[in-house]
């Protein structure tokens, strides 16, 4: 052991006062260290400042890797050893400092028995522990190769004072970094949860003469509001599929669902965010499974109630409100039951009158017997049903006023004459206008269903190319009274393209998915609508490409270019999975 080594006693520090680092200096140093929140920047600043104070040529910060019981060089200046250089706690000078929690002042480093370095030019060095709440988090080292400069106790005192401040500065940045990382991962998870939640919601109406639009606006990434369309399984004993009038047309339909009957539900779990989303997922699955085989909303709500009570028996999980309706296209009836849910609005298409779909029943999960009652109403063409959750009527504005049902009814009346897509958009806009900058307090779910005008032909076919010819022939047969039929070639071309697009690009050749066709034929106007069950596409982009002078080389683009050239009108719904084609007789 070298006689020159002076281990710190911590007392009896000598030295002249003019060399002391003043409070003003510390204030300035503090400003420099905390200027950035980024950990690496802070580490760099700490080393630079320490070297400046001690007039050192070399400096480094080693942080403790607790799991490995090692010190890792996180930043260095003037050192030959690379970053990420590691030493075990207890080994070398820094290892000794970390292990004992004591600082060292070495006047002849190389001769010290703890020295493990490779640079023999180092003369004098200081190593002090970085401590947060008494715990060593790392080691700050500075050294010099200058003969004239030998570090003493006073230098050590300066570095200790500096290190105490630096340790806190580093620790804050470290915590911030860890928090940021957690936040990032949590954000990713939430994003995925949100996608999963949306994917379990089904909004494909299996019936060609019903249109439906919906909006789900959770107050956070995920929420407890939900809705879904539940097609009735064909194997259900209640399904009259085989006796329906489209039997002869649809006997080739490879679908497990009845094209004329389906359930529709909307619900609200009394909770928000992730807990609500989890409960919502379970409820949706149960309702979907039960709804596929039962037509009685009362039975379905009873099942949901007992399932909720079984899975979420603890009172803190609360309850959920639900509305379940079963629609039968063969006699145009809606049978429904409610579990404490807001009464949906029924807007009569002919008279413009508003009715409430009210009824008794406790929210699911609350009582052993929910006391659900069933009601049946007859629907007429152009009737519109607005299903919503209380987040809609409960929207708040900046003054803290609630939107309320009265105001909602007024808005519905104002926009009643608009097409359902525009109708839903207008409602959403009005709610946003009302809320202004006020935060959305609750999840909002809205769903609008409309019975369309009577068609001359409605067809549902499976995704099979060989169905195309059959559909085209049926459509052309329906259009016999249309005066523009003199040129069936172009009509046929357009139909073939739309059906082909629907099956290949829309349904992606998925045999379980269907294509819905409706035809309305008047002497001077024919309207043909083709809808698929795909995710839709960016029709604007493809149609725009058709306007360019270049030959249209993509098959889909070519088909649409042709259709928009020959048809008098062509438009798509917003999702891009429903095309409407209009021909007029000139």
- Candidates 14, 378, 550, 586; binder of other proteins (CB under 8 A) is 550
**For other proteins, the closer CB: 1 or 489:** 489
The number of beta carbons lying within 10 Å of the beta carbon of residue 524 is 11
405 binds other proteins (CB under 8 A): no
Contact 268, 391 (CB under 8 A): yes
Nearest approach in angstroms of CB 501 to other proteins is 9
Binding of other proteins by 433 (CB under 8 A): no
Residue corresponding to tokens 């379940």: 324
552 is a contact residue toward other proteins (CB under 8 A):
yes
Q: Does 254 contact other proteins by CB under 8 A?
A: no
Q: Does 551 bind other proteins (CB under 8 A)?
A: yes
Run of H or E including 410:
helix 404-415
DSSP-derived pairing of the beta strands 514-521 and 6-7: unpaired
| Interaction residues for other proteins, span 120-139 (CB under 8 A) | none
Closest approach of Cβ 364 to other proteins, in Å?
49
Q: In the bound complex, what is the minimum distance in angstroms from residue 469's beta carbon to other proteins?
A: 7
Minimum CB distance to other proteins, residue 465 (Å)? 6
| Residue 500 binds to other proteins (criterion: CB under 8 A) | yes
Residues 6+ apart with CB under 8 A from 20: 154, 158
- How many Cα atoms sit within 13 Å of 353 on the Cβ side? 5
3-state secondary structure of 530: strand
β 375-378/569-572 pair status:
unpaired
Instruction: Report the run of H or E that residue 294 belongs to, with start and end.
Output: none
Stretch that binds other proteins, among 45-53, 163-171, 312-320, 551-559 (CB under 8 A): 551-559
Backbone angles phi, psi at 273, to 5 degrees: 65, -150
In terms of CB distance, is 373 or 490 closer to other proteins? 490
Residue 492 as a binder of other proteins (CB under 8 A): the answer is yes
Q: Does 497 bind other proteins (CB under 8 A)?
A: yes
Please classify residue 34 by burial: count the beta carbons closer than 10 Å to its beta carbon, then call 0-12 exposed, 13-18 middle and 19+ buried: middle
Q: Give φ, ψ of 466 to 5 degrees.
A: -70, -10
561 interacts with other proteins by CB under 8 A: yes
Exactly one of 490, 572, 575, 584 binds other proteins (CB under 8 A); which one?
Answer: 490
Q: Which of 208, 204, 263 is nearest to 233 (CA)?
A: 263
Which position has the token pair 């715990």? 135
Shortest distance in whole angstroms from residue 494 CB to other proteins: 10
- Please report whether residue 143 would count as binding other proteins according to CB under 8 A: no
Rounded to the nearest whole angstrom, what is the least distance from the CB of residue 565 to other proteins in the complex? 4
Nearest approach, Cβ of 458 to other proteins (angstroms)?
22
Nearer to other proteins, 375 or 492 (CB): 492
Rg value, the chain, Cα: 37
Stretch that binds other proteins, among 107-115, 414-422, 476-484, 493-501 (CB under 8 A): 493-501
Task: By CB under 8 A, tell whether 558 contacts other proteins.
Answer: yes
Please identify, among the stretches 44-52, 53-61, 318-326, 549-557, the one whose residues bind other proteins according to the rule CB under 8 A: 549-557
Shortest distance (Å) from residue 546 CB to other proteins = 9
Q: Is 549 in the site for other proteins (CB under 8 A)?
A: yes
**547 binds other proteins, rule: CB under 8 A:** no
Compare residues 95 and 484 and give the one whose CB is closer to other proteins: 484
Sheet with 384-388, strands from edge to edge, namely 210-217, 444-451, 384-388, 345-347, 354-356
List the x/- string, 456-475, binding to other proteins by CB under 8 A: ---------xx-xx------
Report the chain's terminal Cα–Cα distance, integer Å: 109
> What is the sign, positive or negative, of the torsion defined by CA atoms of 366, 312, 197, 501?
negative
Q: In the 8-state DSSP scheme, what is residue 3?
A: T
Among 138, 231, 291, 559, which residue sits at the site for other proteins (rule: CB under 8 A)? Answer: 559
User: Residue 259: exposed, middle, or buried by beta-carbon count in 10 A (0-12, 13-18, 19+)?
Assistant: buried
Contacts of 124 (CB under 8 A, 6+ apart): 105, 106, 107, 108, 109, 143, 144, 149, 150, 151
Residue 164 as a binder of other proteins (CB under 8 A): the answer is no
Contact pick of 485, 493, 543, 585 for other proteins (by CB under 8 A): 493
**476 binding other proteins? (CB under 8 A):** no
| Residue 135 or 469 with smaller CB distance to other proteins | 469
For other proteins, give the closer residue by CB, 153 or 572: 572
Pick the piece of the chain touching other proteins (CB under 8 A) from 307-315, 389-397, 429-437, 547-555: 547-555
CA distance 365 to 346: 27
Per CB under 8 A, 509 contacts other proteins: no
Please tell me the count of residues contacting other proteins according to CB under 8 A: 23
39-54 vs 23-33: helix axis angle to the nearest 10?
A: 150
Query: Least distance (Å) from other proteins to the CB of residue 466?
Result: 8
Q: Nearest distance from residue 562's CB to other proteins, in Å?
A: 6
Q: Quick check: 423 and 416 in contact, CB under 8 A?
A: yes
Which one, 33 or 479, has the nearer CB to other proteins? 479
- Residue 438 interacting with other proteins (CB under 8 A): no
| Long-range contacts formed by 77-83: CB under 8 A, 24+ apart | 77/47, 77/48, 77/51, 79/119, 80/118, 80/119, 81/117, 81/118
Residues 6+ apart with CB under 8 A from 465: 500, 503
By CB under 8 A, residue 555 contacts other proteins: yes
Q: How far is the CB of 543 from other proteins (least distance, A)?
A: 13
Contacting positions for other proteins (CB under 8 A): 465-466, 468-469, 489-490, 492-493, 496-497, 500, 549-553, 555, 558-559, 561-562, 565-566
């Amino acid at each position: 052991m070298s006689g020159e080594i002076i281990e710190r006693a911590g007392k009896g520090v000598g030295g002249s006062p003019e060399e002391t680092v003043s409070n003003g200096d510390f204030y300035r140093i503090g400003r420099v260290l905390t200027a950035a929140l980024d950990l690496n920047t802070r580490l760099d600043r700490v080393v630079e400042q320490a070297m400046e104070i001690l007039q050192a040529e070399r400096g480094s910060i080693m942080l403790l890797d607790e799991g490995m019981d090692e010190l890792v060089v996180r930043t260095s200046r003037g050192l030959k050893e690379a970053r990420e250089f590691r030493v075990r706690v207890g080994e070398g000078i820094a290892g000794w400092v970390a292990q004992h929690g004591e600082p060292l002042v070495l006047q002849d480093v190389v001769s010290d028995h703890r020295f493990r370095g490779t640079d023999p030019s180092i003369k004098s060095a200081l190593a002090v522990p970085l401590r947060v709440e008494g715990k060593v988090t790392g080691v700050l080292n500075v050294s010099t190769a200058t003969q004239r400069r030998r570090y003493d106790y006073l230098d050590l005192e300066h570095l200790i004072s500096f290190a105490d401040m630096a340790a806190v500065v580093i620790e804050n940045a470290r915590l911030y970094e860890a928090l940021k990382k957690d936040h990032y991962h949590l954000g990713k998870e939430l994003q995925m949860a949100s996608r999963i939640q949306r994917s379990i919601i089904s909004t494909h109406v299996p019936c060609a003469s019903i249109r439906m639009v919906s909006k789900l606006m959770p107050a956070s990434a995920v929420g407890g509001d939900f809705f879904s369309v539940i097609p009735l399984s064909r194997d259900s004993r209640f399904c009259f599929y085989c006796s329906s009038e489209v039997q002869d047309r649809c006997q080739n339909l490879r679908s497990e669902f009845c094209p004329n009957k389906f359930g529709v539900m909307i619900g609200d779990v009394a909770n928000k965010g992730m807990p609500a989303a989890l409960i919502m997922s379970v409820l949706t699955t149960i309702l979907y499974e039960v709804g596929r085989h039962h037509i009685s909303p009362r039975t379905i709500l009873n099942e949901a109630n007992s399932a909720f009570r079984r899975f979420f028996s603890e009172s803190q999980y609360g309850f959920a409100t639900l509305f379940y309706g079963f629609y039968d296209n063969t006699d145009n009836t809606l049978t429904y039951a409610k579990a404490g849910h807001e009464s949906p609005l029924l807007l009569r298409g002919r008279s413009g009158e508003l009715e409430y779909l009210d009824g008794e029943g406790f929210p699911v999960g609350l009582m052993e017997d929910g006391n659900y009652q069933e009601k049946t109403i007859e629907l007429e063409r152009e009737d519109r049903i607005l299903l919503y959750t209380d987040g809609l009527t409960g929207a708040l504005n900046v003054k803290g006023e609630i939107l309320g049902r009265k105001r909602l009814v007024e808005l519905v009346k104002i926009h009643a004459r608009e097409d359902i897509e525009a109708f839903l958009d207008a409602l959403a806009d009005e709610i946003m206008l009302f809320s202004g900058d006020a935060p959305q307090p609750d999840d909002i779910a809205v769903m609008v269903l409309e019975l369309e005008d009577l068609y001359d032909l409605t067809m549902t076919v499976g995704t099979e190319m060989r169905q195309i010819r059959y559909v085209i022939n049926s459509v052309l047969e329906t259009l016999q009274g249309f005066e523009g039929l003199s040129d069936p070639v172009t009509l046929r071309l357009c139909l073939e393209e739309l059906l082909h697009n629907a099956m290949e690009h829309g349904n992606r050749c998925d045999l379980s998915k269907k294509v819905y066709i409706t035809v309305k034929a008047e002497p001077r106007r024919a309207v043909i609508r083709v809808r698929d069950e795909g995710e839709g596409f960016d029709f604007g982009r493809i149609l725009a490409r058709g306007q360019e002078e270049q030959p249209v080389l993509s098959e889909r683009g070519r088909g649409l270019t042709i259709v928009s050239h020959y048809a008098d009108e062509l438009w798509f719904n917003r999702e891009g999975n429903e095309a409407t084609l209009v021909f007029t007789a000139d």
